[in-house]
A and B are shown apart, each in its own frame.
Chain A
């Protein structure tokens, strides 16, 4: 890799911890970001010449802090701080800094930074935008492209979100155990939102597709800080396992390829391996949560060499657990798919029909119902469900997939007419 690529990768990797530590220091989001930017500029110059520092994150935090102080001093015409290249050569300056920033300190810093982004007053899209801007360091332009809005509009949205969280005033004291676990819950939900933005994007939507990688990066960060937390393991494993199918989920035209039709040799086996092992680790804790159960379901799919060999009975049982943990008609709908494999389409249909009132505006409800009716040979009713699904599709790929079913139904009825 070239120097620039290396430096870039190191800067991206250090960003959450560095900005989080600077935020604790300055207690102001803009000041922390500015100090970090300043440190990055100096890193580009300095690292290219002097090589990488032993601990890039500590280097960035210290240089960012000094640069900001330097600015204050210059304005008050005081003595400047030493140049950063002198500083980085002083091992004895870097060492105590690195020691002071031990894991637990990092942990609360990064958690606070992430937590600030998922303030409950912010709508989900703003939480995601703020996190991508502040934690992941994506440019406003990149984020605007991902959400299909103009750059100026996104800039405004982020500025407003920042003002709102500044008003809310998240405390800077070390959080207690209960507060920490509440923060962690909110942060995990936000990370999963980021992931789903990327996951639901089609293959042609590169701007949004990258968000899945971004979310996995954040998931890794969380697990490094909360390494014995089964739900954090579950969240990372879930994202890895879902993302392992990224190259097989769409065909050359950008249309959805269903799980049963996917070329499993195109799955990313490294991600599957890692996801499966993490689920295995988490299960040992015998403390089940929704992310872990979903990851376990994804792991069963990932482990099946062919669709026909999927262990549907286990999936049904896991969905039953998930229903108990977080009752929701969407989960029942998913469970019905497993039930249709073990007990047939009629049993599944009986399960989901009572959900109609709650899910009448949900694309997947009508799509799944249409699929079950089709299996039962009820072409007309299936057609009605598919029509409803198409009217509710969120993406072109979703609509195209249902369209394919409808086209097939039309072709079949033409054939019958002619016969």
Chain B
């Protein structure tokens, strides 16, 4: 099973960390990353820039709003990683998707650190993997 682990914290606090504090946290995380990278289970991981750098496209009205997506009644359903020239191109991408799938919003948040992790073989179909989950095999359920 593939999981996306979404990281939350008080941004005001994290942005207030000194360079040394930040590095301390990153170093500690690095130890944990290494362990999971060795087992091949850590796939791409990303550290985002603060929400100050975020722009949100509200799909139905095609309205561009500065800042992060703030509504709480909608849930995060998925995300894309794109490598584009600038914000305009990111918006172009989002608008293309919006035409295909209206409703809701896309938040565009620049990536600060991108770590590729262990490569994912070809097109990864989570559903197929799901069938191989040991705990779901009849012999595991006793």
A interface list, Cβ under 8 A from B? 1, 5, 9-10, 12-14, 56, 213, 217, 220-221, 223-224, 227-228, 233, 236, 268, 270, 273-274, 277-278, 280-281, 284
Task: List residues of chain A with CB within 8 A of the CB of B13.
Answer: 9-10, 12-13
Knowing A1-B21, A5-B21, say if A223 contacts B52 (CB, 8 Å): yes
Q: Using Cβ atoms and an 8 Å threshold, which residues of chain B touch A228?
A: 65-67
Q: Which of B19, B50, B110 has the most CB of A within 10 A?
A: B50
Q: Are A274 and B52 in contact (CB under 8 A)?
A: yes
Nearest CB of chain A from residue B111's CB, rounded to whole Å: 9
With contacts A10-B13, A12-B16 known, what are 12 further pairs, Cβ within 8 A? A9-B21, A10-B10, A227-B67, A228-B65, A273-B110, A274-B49, A274-B53, A274-B112, A277-B49, A278-B52, A280-B86, A284-B87
Q: How far apart are the CA atoms of A217 and B14 in the complex, in Å? A: 11
Q: How far is the CB of B34 from the nearest CB of chain A, in Å?
A: 20
Q: Measured between alpha carbons, how far is A297 from B24 in the docked complex, in Å? A: 33
Complex CA gap A281/B54 in Å reads 8
Across-interface contacts of A213 in B (CB, < 8 A) = 18
Identify the interface centre among B16, B55, B87, B110: most chain A CB within 10 Å of its CB: B16
List, in ascending order, chain A residues with CB within 8 A of B15's CB: 217, 220
Which residue among A5, A220, A233 has the maximum number of chain B CB atoms within 10 Å of its CB?
Answer: A220
The 13 listed contacts between A and B (C-beta, < 8 Å) are: A10-B10, A12-B13, A12-B16, A13-B10, A13-B16, A14-B12, A56-B10, A270-B49, A273-B49, A274-B50, A274-B52, A274-B112, A277-B87
- Interface secondary structure of A, over-half rule: helix
**Contact present for A220 and B64 (CB under 8 Å):** no
The CA of A236 and the CA of B64, in the complex, are separated in Å by: 20
Q: Which of B34-84 contact A (CB under 8 A)?
A: 49-53, 55, 64-67
Please determine whether A1 and B10 come into contact, CB atoms closer than 8 angstroms.
no
A356 to B74 alpha-carbon distance, docked (Å):
61
Q: Which of B64-120 contact A (CB under 8 A)?
A: 64-67, 86-87, 110, 112
Q: Which of A14, A221, A227, A273 neighbours the largest number of chain B CB atoms within 10 Å of its CB?
A: A227
A/B pair count, beta carbons within 8 Å: 66
CA distance A382 to B51 in the complex (A): 48
Closest beta carbon of chain B to A40's beta carbon, Å: 15
Whether a CB of chain A sits under 8 angstroms from the CB of B17 is yes
Task: State A274–B111 Cα separation when bound (angstroms).
Answer: 10
Whether A284 pairs with B12 at a CB distance below 8 angstroms is: no
Whether B112 contacts A273 by the Cβ 8 Å rule is: yes
Distance A217 CA – B52 CA, assembled complex (angstroms): 12
Residue in A1, A217, A278 whose beta carbon sits within 8 Å of that of B53 in the complex: A278
Please, how many angstroms separate the alpha-carbon atoms of A56 and B65 in the complex? Answer: 28
Please indicate the chain A residues that have their CB under 8 angstroms from the CB of B110 in the complex: 273-274, 277
